[in-house]
Chain A
């Protein structure tokens, strides 16, 4: 997993509440048995005018000019600004894979759906929760100023706006530690292998029917 430290990135606005993971990456792309290559199909149904397929090249497809990410001013965006309950619906990790593959490294919204939120951290993608009013302000500013960038400092837990104003955000210390160091959860957990085995042994005595 890629380390996350300080990001200074162009911001793209996704101005809808309850964006679900079916919209982030439609079902036909879930047939893949790989982890990579989902970026070109991020928001597929909104982004293109025709229907995408897993085995169909995307280069010559018709773009929906009205879709926000197709506007030239947001090309290369690394920060996605979103509304409440972003990432609701299915548990598909293909959603953060697609966002990451597209080039996003951080997301900002008033709230995220839980499974999606947790999936982001496993993929070096930082979801930041800010007050609804602050997010609303950011939407206005992003729309008003082409080339709008934000600096996100994970260590200090601060988002800095172009005018110098800073917005603090919360993050679990454990998640922060893993993200800063690009650590893999499984390796960390296996440090507790002994504890897991002891727990399991006790459980076998208490509830033997679980181990039939």
Chain B
């Protein structure tokens, strides 16, 4: 038998039907649902009098619009409230399991899913959200879809897909102190570009990956979409299995052993062929900071804001110039000289317990700098929040001057009240620094939780490798 990549295996095991041109009907094991991209899909079902194909395949939560302040007060914005209520009503009507706004298990859909064990190796996982790539960390074929496809998945438990090509990013060596999975993700995007992964399923492999926790692996796969790849995938190993054990929706007893036997086969075969391979030496990676309005506009912390005059390509030069104007930055400014107004620690990239522990360790016993108007910590889910509180992390943050909030997407995209004002500059642990992403006119710099926490204390970016 020809050796297969992990992606090939996942793909093959879900093929229901193939059209003449290769368009494939692919079976969907798990569909995650949230309030923003689902209402029009449910309405479509109703209009065409179609039913859900398999109710138990769907799990829902409200995350994008929910307030991160006192939930007892409800949602003040009427448009947001209607969207969340519409999700509640649709889930009730169709019998879908939902962790609603006041459920202790509520959280960002990509944090809640793995935490509950509804994401299991070998699954196809879809959600009307591009960061569904996160779940590839569990050797799932997981990718974001649009609302028409949400409706399609609800009605048929399948999606029409074309197979992607295989790309391997192989990372070897130990990550230096102060360098995290987030820095690795940004460094990969800096290297291959935001369209570098377009058309590929991106497997992340190598010794560095094997040493990463599931949290770190999720951070990496989360950012695969920022490299243009719809899916990022990591093979199963002991770390994966250890993480899943005892999760509420994970199998138990005999079923568990049977499942584990199967999950262990979910790796690329030794001689599997990839269409493209990128090698990365983890030892050379430094803490990363984005300076522009696309995640590929990224440099190391000891570097400077780029100078458009040195760019030969016309379209790129214009892109740099436009980004610098938007970001309010001068060419050649050292990254460590950039002063900040706000700091956001959260989002499906970096709001898990490990991220909060890492950030807390940077700020313990220190104070947020006076020029920082708001330093926000938003746990990824109610369970992450509760765990952090058991460990006393909330106190560390509060004592340092951070605000400790309720779980949700929050200032990752500012669909609720948590937003940047025009011109404000923010160190953010999220995944997108697009114009206006965190609020109209807001300026976003993407960094790791450690870098964001240290920047809050210093008031400007600092090299965490030198943090005492």
Interface residues of A (CB under 8 A from B): 16-18, 20, 22-23, 26-28, 30-35, 45, 51, 54-55, 83-85, 88-93, 96, 111, 113-115, 118-119, 122-123, 172-175, 184-186, 189-190, 192-193, 195-196, 199-200, 203, 207-212
Chain B positions within 8 Å of A173 at CB level: 19-21
Assess whether B120 is in contact with A209, with CB atoms less than 8 Å apart. Answer: yes
B156 touches A114 (CB 8 A): no
Chain B positions within 8 Å of A33 at CB level:
39-40, 43, 82-83, 86
* Docked-complex contact A199 and B16, CB < 8 angstroms: yes
When A and B form their complex, which 10 residue pairs have the shortest distance between CB atoms, in order from nearest?
A122-B148, A209-B251, A93-B146, A33-B39, A119-B146, A174-B23, A91-B144, A93-B147, A173-B21, A91-B130
Of A45, A111, A186, most buried by chain B (CB within 10 Å of CB) is: A186
Q: Give the segment of B208-216, B232-240, B391-399, B434-442 that binds chain A.
A: B434-442
Which residues of chain B are within 8 angstroms of A92 by Cβ–Cβ distance? 36-37, 146
B160-175 CB mask vs A (1 if < 8 Å, else 0) is 1010000000000000
Chain A residue with Cβ nearest B435: A23
A88, A91, A209 pick with most chain B CB within 10 angstroms: A91
Contacts A27-B437, A174-B23, A200-B157 known; 20 new A-B pairs at CB < 8 A: A16-B318, A16-B319, A23-B435, A28-B415, A31-B36, A32-B83, A90-B129, A90-B130, A91-B130, A91-B145, A93-B148, A111-B198, A113-B228, A184-B48, A186-B152, A189-B156, A196-B158, A207-B122, A209-B256, A209-B258
**Contact code string B132-160 (vs A, CB < 8 Å = 1, else 0):** 10000000000111111101100111101
B258 neighbours in A (Cβ, 8 Å): 209
Complex Cα distance, B148 from A196, in Å, reads: 19
What separation, in Å, do the CA atoms of A37 and B19 have in the docked complex?
35
Cβ B37 vs Cβ A93 within 8 A: yes
Residue in B17, B22, B37, B122 whose CB lies within 8 Å of A91: B37
A172 pairs with B157, CB closer than 8 A: no
Per the CB 8 Å criterion, the residue count for chain B at the interface is: 78
24 interchain pairs (CB within 8 A)? A18-B194, A18-B195, A18-B294, A20-B294, A22-B435, A23-B434, A26-B436, A27-B413, A31-B80, A31-B82, A31-B415, A34-B40, A51-B440, A88-B194, A88-B195, A90-B129, A90-B432, A92-B36, A113-B228, A118-B149, A119-B148, A196-B25, A196-B158, A207-B122
Q: A31-B65, A189-B158 are in contact. Are A89 and B432 (CB under 8 A)?
A: yes
Asked whether, in the complex, the Cβ of B152 is within 8 Å of the Cβ of A189, the reply is: yes
B427 within 8 Å of A by Cβ? Answer: no
B259 within 8 A of A: yes
Residues of A within 8 A of B333 (CB): none
The answer to the question of B322 belonging to the interface, with a C-beta cut-off of 8 Å to chain A, is yes
Residue of A nearest to B147 (CB): A93
Contact across chains for A17 and B83 when beta carbons are under 8 A apart: no
Which of B295-321 touch A at CB < 8 Å? 315-316, 318-319
**A196 CB contact (under 8 Å) in B16, B77, B144, B434:** B16
Residues of chain B within 8 A (CB-CB) of A200 are 27, 54, 157
- How far does the alpha carbon of A193 sit from the alpha carbon of B255 in the complex, in Å? 29
Contact of A45 among B65, B128, B414, B440 (CB under 8 A): B440
In the assembled complex, which residues on chain A have CB atoms less than 8 Å from the CB atom of B434? 20, 22-23, 89
A20 to B93: give the CA distance in the assembly, Å: 35
Contact of B424 with A by CB under 8 A: no
* Interface membership of B29, Cβ < 8 A: yes
> Closest A-chain residue to B78, C-beta based?
A55
Asked if residues A45 and B27 are in contact (CB atoms below 8 Å), the reply is no
User: CA A55 – CA B143 in complex, angstroms?
Assistant: 32
Task: Identify which of B50, B82, B147, B262 gathers the most chain A CB atoms within 10 Å of its CB.
Answer: B147
* A172 interface neighbour in B21, B148, B294, B315, Cβ under 8 Å: B21
Q: Are A18 and B37 in contact (CB under 8 A)?
A: no
Contacts of B151 in A (CB 8 A): 186
How distant is the Cα of A93 from the Cα of B155 in the complex, in angstroms?
Answer: 18
Contact between chains at A210 and B29 (CB < 8 Å): yes
Q: A82: shortest Cβ distance to chain B, in Å?
A: 12
- Are A115 and B145 in contact, with the CB atoms below 8 A? yes
Assembly CA distance A33 to B84 (angstroms): 10
CB distance from B278 to the nearest CB of A (A): 18
**Chain B residues whose C-beta falls within 8 Å of the C-beta of A20 in the assembled complex:** 294, 432, 434
Contact flag A192-B25 (CB < 8 Å), given A22-B436, A34-B40, A45-B436: yes
Contact B130 A192 (CB under 8 A): no
Contact with A along B18-46 (1 / 0, CB 8 A): 01111101010100000011011001000
Could you say which residues of chain B place their CB within 8 Å of the CB of A114? 198-199, 228, 230
Also in contact, A35 and B432, with CB within 8 A (given A173-B21, A186-B152) = no
Residue B249, interface by CB 8 Å: yes
Instruction: Tell me if A30 and B194 are in contact (CB < 8 A).
Output: no
Distance of A115 Cα from B155 Cα, bound (Å): 20
